[in-house]
Structure 1
């Protein structure tokens, strides 16, 4: 269904990750100001970690997970939908609206290609930029949970969010 899917936005290309992206993944995630806000990403983040992630994504070619966010020919982050919507951007790419732009494209594709009625996401308490992205997409609060951050090696409060297909269509007209 989604094998080989590439999504284009005004400024970005979303495409499946490849082994050629490993240096960009290591550079972006071996920065505690990035990895510290993520649940399953370790810190330090190594080439071995990146290879494992790219191999995992390659084993699920029909999914919605593991899209490189490419701006100006450079991988600046990753976005995907596994159990929930997740994303990260390298520090140098933050604050430019890339996360919102990539998320609109992927969530539009997700709702168009599936019969899903809901999509979950979340952010660690204090991650105001991620909260802002989810708010702009139409996500609403859905409780909290204590979740381990591998990078921080401790449990943190995850602000759970939910987006319904109805809310998405009302807000984005898709």
Structure 2
């Protein structure tokens, strides 16, 4: 059979790993689970800087690693996350693409999701695109996917209490404070972590709706562990 110019052959990897068929499209961004071909651009985005070096917004200070260790560690982390997906405990790391280039990562995670119907999220963006509203757009995309396609009923997030940018994104989307915790940032440094929670009915939806491809296969995989 001859294919027309707009036809694409089915991706054989989706048959064995349904999450690779998942694509979330927003007005400016495309989010899809990190593939190996994303890794070079992802590493470049990390090496260009993710945050002010004087601060540490992550509970695990992974960005402090020397360049020669950070590069292979970034790849190992993505492979480890992918291999660890199970019905009981899963994380999807979405590569965030703007104009075809990886500018960051947005993750979505859950434990005992079939019972609890709660998701969590985390993210980072390369510093050159900070301040353009991408953080809100990409989190709104995964929240729409979680609430409207996976059937989540709540979402949680957290940030250091000094991290105004992250907390601002949460407020815009409807999260409310849910207590604090003391956590270690860099070795020997204590930070106050602000926990947040968002009920599905309180989600402040953007004016746009994300286009979602591959939701059915992803849902079956995450709920039953089956690729069928």
Residue in 1 that maps onto 2:217: none
Change in 2 beyond 3 A, CA 1:10/1:85: same
Write the distance in 1 (CA, Å) between the matches of 2:155 and 2:170: 11
Aligned counterpart in structure 2 of residue 134 of structure 1, from 164, 170, 178: 170
Aligned counterpart in structure 2 of residue 37 of structure 1, from 57, 64, 82: 57
Write the distance in 2 (CA, Å) between the matches of 1:28 and 1:48: 14
Query: In the comparison of the two structures, how many residue pairs are matched?
Result: 170
Aligned counterpart in structure 1 of residue 107 of structure 2, from 61, 64, 80: 80
Where in structure 2 are the equivalents of 1:66-145 lying within 5 Å? 66-83=93-110, 84-145=120-181
Residue in 2 that maps onto 1:172: 205
Counterpart contact for 2:94–2:105, Cα < 8 Å: yes
Residue in 2 that maps onto 1:15: 32
Structure with higher Rg: it is 2
Aligned counterpart in structure 2 of residue 5 of structure 1, from 10, 22, 47: 22
Counterpart contact for 1:28–1:76, Cα < 8 Å: yes
Counterpart contact for 1:34–1:88, Cα < 8 Å: no
Write the distance in 1 (CA, Å) between the matches of 2:179 and 2:40: 36
Counterpart contact for 1:12–1:102, Cα < 8 Å: yes
Change in 2 beyond 3 A, CA 1:157/1:25: farther
Residue in 2 that maps onto 1:148: 184
Write the distance in 2 (CA, Å) between the matches of 1:67 and 1:130: 18
The alignment partner of 1:33 has SS state of coil
Gaps of 5+ in 2: 1-17, 111-119, 210-228
- Shifted more, 40-49 versus 68-77: the winner is 40-49
> How large is the Cα RMSD of the aligned pairs?
2.4
Counterpart contact for 1:121–1:162, Cα < 8 Å: yes
The alignment partner of 1:20 has SS state of helix
How far off its partner does 1:41 sit?
A: 4.5
2:88 maps to 1:49: no
Alignment TM-score, normalising by the size of structure 1: 0.86
